């Protein structure tokens, strides 16, 4: 018995849906080798979805697909690669490439030699009447761009060509030339070509035509056989008749096979197909709440888990393909210098704005002052003890002179109530009220303290400066409190320094804090505290932005599917992105550190700590990069990816001990904080810069270890996510 020839493409019982919306319904398709198969159908009939199932870009809900004797989209399947040339309906080309660079890029992915790429590229570009090979894709017309896309599909001379409406935008002469070339391919090389179209006269030229509507293949046979068996005059009338039959019949009959069994020509599907389709339509409203993304991912995850053992070739990276991907990425970078400069400067602008706007000394803070002190010629009383005061006899004025006049805009009032009203009216942040007997009561208090006698309440009140403050801005309030305390200390120092028989210890706190700090400096600002964490968060968030939208945009433009079909695996895609963006990341982090250390003089103990700061910054950038790839693998739209990215950055900014210590959070939030990828890194960065610690310290190496752990985890999740979405 003669063995049945293996078809180029064979589909059995194909069903596919986006959530509750059914796209393919029990479809049967058989494409023999060495023919042109024209798939005819209107927009939305499911043609493109069917092609993507054949290519393995999406998985069927039910049924099977065999392409060139093997099943795509199974674990261990290396990819169609050189065996299939694919021209999608979208442009799916990198617009920064020239036409010849496009040929080289895809040729390398196909595994072709450079000489062969050059030879085939020139031939195809001349055949398709394209202009100079050095012209970039973005500068071509729409029709010329689609012809370049067709040239890419035919570049490697594959045994199977899948062309999704290749002649759209071509003039009649060029369309005829393209069809002539397709016929020559079939005749000379036995190439199998599947071509979709919604032009009936164009489909008439195919060896076999499949008529498709609403996810069903109504008939498939040579055009002349369809016309003769139906008794109608044109293929258009045949298609129209089949469409009427599909609308009229509640139950389908077996699909018309390719073996010329054309007697019941109105047959358009199998019973299961139309029955399921009717049920789907009737239950459409019920199933609206089921998200298409969720159902598709469940189906893909199930098929991913149920397949056989992994073929190492499907995950191991190939250096030549990685080099091509990196070349593409670098070309996109250096041919957009404005974007590159923006990527370099944006982190610098962020750190500059932070250092200029946060943590600096205040200026122009309005303070209302009422000095009611009448003074007292205390030298007549204590001239034998305090001989250095000369004519100074007003402690109120002495205290005011010790305030920071550079930071404060002091307004003097002649009445206590007016000074307090200035705060109530929002004209001042603080009112300082000095009582009228302040100097006299301070002297009395001095003698009573030295004599170890009790101090009456009226003396205590008379020697106390009253403060009335607006505490709605805690940062200004904290600054004014600190400034007042410093002024009080300076005032006491000035008073005691002018008295021979009294020492500062007689009026000092029992706490001795004159030793130098173990770490840090007494002159550190809030900027010195926040800056290490800001380096971490800026690098992390900017790195997310480098990759979070990348695959979303490429998928939307059809670039991702074309890359998968060319044989690129997920590991190669992820590695190429990481390697390419490392250059941008290195420059960004270096600019950040130079600005922080040398431009704004943020506190750093050792200059040699810069190496560890740069290393940790790079690792945080890589972690953010892989997290961005993970986001990109999960999202369909740019808005979704942007929202996730913005929400993530806000969470890590608020909860990673960057603006506020972890110890200031509720206990349950502390656990969440330490689970974030930036918290331990921020603590490590602060210890490196502020304490001069190295990798031998637990806080530092813990920050490095946790960062590396998150990088590996995100890389694995991103790879799995892309494999599921592939």
- Span 103-142, pLDDT tens digits: 999 999 999 999 999 999 999 999 888 888 889 999 998 8
Q: What is the mean pLDDT of the chain?
A: 83
Q: Read off the pLDDT of each residue in 40-47 and give the average, rounded to a whole number.
A: 85
CA dist 650 and 652 (Å) reads 6
pLDDT score at 267: 34
| pLDDT, greater one: 138 or 261 | 138
Q: How many of the other CB atoms lie within 10 Å of CB of 172?
A: 8
Q: Read off the pLDDT of each residue in 458-471 and give the average, rounded to a whole number.
A: 90
CA angle 213, 217, 222 (to 5 degrees): 115
Q: Nearest 10 degrees: CA dihedral of 634, 47, 90, 176?
A: 160
Q: How many of the other CB atoms lie within 10 Å of CB of 517?
A: 9
pLDDT cut 70: percent of the chain above it: 83
Bridge partners (DSSP) of residue 67 are 9, 70
Does position 239 have pLDDT exceeding 70, yes or no? yes
Residue 612, CB half-sphere, CA atoms under 13 Å: how many?
27
Beta-strand pair 192-197/208-213: unpaired
pLDDT cut 90: percent of the chain above it: 44
pLDDT score at 479: 85
668 within 8 A of 647, measured Cβ to Cβ: no
| pLDDT, greater one: 100 or 526 | 100
| Local structure of 607: helix, strand or coil | coil
Binned at pLDDT 50, 70 and 90, residue 101 comes out as very high
CA dist 265 and 256 (Å) reads 7
The DSSP line for 422-487 is: HHHTTS-SEEEEE-TTHHHHHHHHHHHHHTT----HHHHHHT--EEEE--SSHHHHHHHHHHHHHH
pLDDT score at 143: 86
Question: pTM of this prediction?
Answer: 0.76
Binned at pLDDT 50, 70 and 90, residue 636 comes out as confident
For residue 696, count CB atoms less than 10 angstroms from its CB and return exposed for 0-12, middle for 13-18, buried for 19 or more. Answer: exposed
3-state secondary structure 377-415: CCHHHHCCCCCCCCCCCCHHHHHHHCCCCCCEEEEECCC
CA angle 44, 49, 55 (to 5 degrees): 155
How many residues in the chain?
726
Order across the sheet with 9-18: list the strands: 21-31, 9-18, 62-67
Q: Read off the pLDDT of each residue in 63-70 and give the average, rounded to a whole number.
A: 89
Instruction: Report the b/e string of 445-476 with b at 16+ CB within 10 A.
Output: bbeeeeeeeeeeeebeebbebeebbbeeeeeb
Residues 387-412 pLDDT 10s: 555 545 788 888 898 898 888 999 99
Does position 310 have pLDDT exceeding 70, yes or no? no
Binned at pLDDT 50, 70 and 90, residue 308 comes out as very low
Residues 335-392 pLDDT 10s: 888 888 888 898 999 999 998 888 787 889 999 999 999 887 655 555 555 555 554 5
Write down all domains in the chain, each with its CATH number in brackets: 1-68+161-168+188-293 (3.40.50.300), 74-158 (3.40.50.300), 366-507 (3.40.1710), 531-725 (no CATH)
Does position 202 have pLDDT exceeding 90, yes or no? no
| Local structure of 25: helix, strand or coil | strand
CA dist 612 and 366 (Å) reads 43
CA dist 701 and 688 (Å) reads 10
**Lowest-pLDDT range of 116-125, 556-565, 586-595, 710-719:** 556-565
């Amino acid at each position: 018995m003669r063995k049945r020839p293996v078809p180029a493409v064979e589909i059995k019982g194909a069903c596919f849906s986006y959530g509750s919306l059914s796209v393919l319904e029990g479809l049967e398709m058989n494409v023999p080798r060495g023919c042109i198969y024209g798939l005819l159908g209107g927009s939305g009939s499911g043609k493109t979805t069917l092609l993507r199932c054949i290519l393995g870009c999406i998985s069927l809900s039910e049924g099977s697909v065999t392409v060139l004797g093997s099943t795509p989209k199974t674990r261990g399947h290396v990819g169609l690669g050189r065996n299939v040339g694919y021209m999608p309906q979208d442009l799916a080309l990198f617009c920064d490439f020239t036409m010849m660079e496009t040929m080289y890029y895809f040729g390398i992915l196909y595994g072709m030699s450079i000489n062969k790429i050059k030879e085939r590229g020139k031939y195809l570009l001349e055949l398709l009447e394209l202009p100079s090979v050095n012209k970039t894709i973005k500068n071509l017309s729409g029709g010329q761009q689609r012809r370049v896309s067709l040239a890419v599909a035919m570049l490697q001379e594959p045994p199977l060509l899948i062309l999704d409406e290749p002649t759209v935008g071509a003039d009649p002469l060029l369309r005829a030339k393209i069809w002539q070339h397709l016929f020559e391919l079939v005749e000379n090389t036995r190439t199998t070509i599947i071509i979709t179209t919604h032009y009936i006269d164009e489909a008439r030229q195919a060896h076999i035509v499949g008529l498709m509507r609403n996810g069903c293949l109504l008939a498939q046979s040579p055009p002349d056989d369809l016309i003769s068996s139906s008794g109608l005059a044109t293929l258009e009338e045949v298609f129209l008749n089949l469409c009427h039959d599909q609308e009229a019949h509640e139950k389908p009959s077996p699909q018309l096979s390719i073996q010329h069994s054309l007697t019941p020509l109105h047959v358009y599907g199998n019973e299961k197909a139309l029955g399921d389709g009717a049920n789907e339509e009737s239950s459409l409203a019920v199933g609206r709440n089921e998200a298409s993304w969720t159902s598709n991912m469940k189906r893909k995850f199930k098929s991913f888990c149920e397949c056989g053992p992994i073929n190492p070739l499907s995950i191991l990276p190939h250096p030549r393909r990685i080099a091509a991907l990196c070349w593409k990425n670098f070309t996109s970078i250096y041919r957009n210098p404005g974007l590159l400069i923006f990527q370099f400067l944006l982190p610098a602008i962020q750190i500059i704005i932070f250092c200029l706007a946060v943590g600096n000394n205040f200026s122009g803070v309005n303070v209302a002052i009422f000095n009611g002190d009448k003074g007292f010629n205390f030298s007549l009383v204590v001239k034998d003890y305090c001989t250095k005061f000369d004519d100074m006899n007003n402690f109120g004025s002495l205290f005011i002179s010790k305030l920071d006049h550079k930071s404060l805009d002091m307004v003097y009032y002649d009445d206590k109530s007016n000074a307090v009203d200035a705060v109530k009216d929002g004209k001042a942040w603080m009112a300082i009220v000095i009582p009228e007997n302040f100097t006299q009561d301070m002297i009395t208090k001095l003698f009573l303290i030295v004599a170890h006698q009790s101090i009456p309440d009226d003396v205590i009140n008379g020697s106390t400066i009253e403060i009335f403050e607006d505490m709605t801005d805690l940062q200004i309030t904290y600054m004014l409190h600190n400034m007042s305390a410093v002024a009080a200390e300076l005032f006491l120092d000035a008073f005691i320094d002018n008295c021979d028989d009294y020492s500062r210890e007689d009026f000092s706190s029992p706490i001795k804090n004159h030793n130098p700090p173990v770490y840090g400096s007494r002159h550190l600002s809030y900027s010195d505290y926040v800056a290490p964490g800001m380096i971490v968060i800026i690098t992390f968030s900017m790195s997310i932005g480098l990759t979070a939208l990348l695959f979303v945009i490429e998928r939307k433009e059809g670039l991702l599917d074309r890359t998968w079909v060319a044989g690129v695996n997920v590991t190669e895609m992820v590695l190429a992105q990481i390697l390419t963006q490392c250059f941008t990341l290195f420059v960004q982090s270096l600019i950040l550190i130079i600005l922080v250390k040398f431009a704004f003089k943020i506190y750093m103990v050792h200059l040699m700590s810069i190496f560890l700061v740069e290393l940790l910054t790079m690792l945080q950038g890589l972690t953010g990069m892989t997290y961005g790839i993970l986001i990109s693998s999960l999202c369909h739209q740019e808005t979704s990816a942007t929202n996730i990215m913005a929400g993530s950055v806000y969470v890590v900014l608020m909860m990673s001990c960057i603006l506020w210590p972890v110890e200031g959070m509720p206990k349950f939030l502390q656990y969440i904080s330490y689970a974030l990828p930036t918290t331990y890194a921020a603590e490590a960065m602060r210890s490196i810069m502020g304490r001069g610690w190295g990798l031998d310290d637990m806080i530092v190496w813990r920050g490095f270890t946790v960062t590396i752990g998150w990088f590996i985890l995100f890389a694995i999740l991103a790879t799995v996510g892309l494999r599921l979405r592939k």
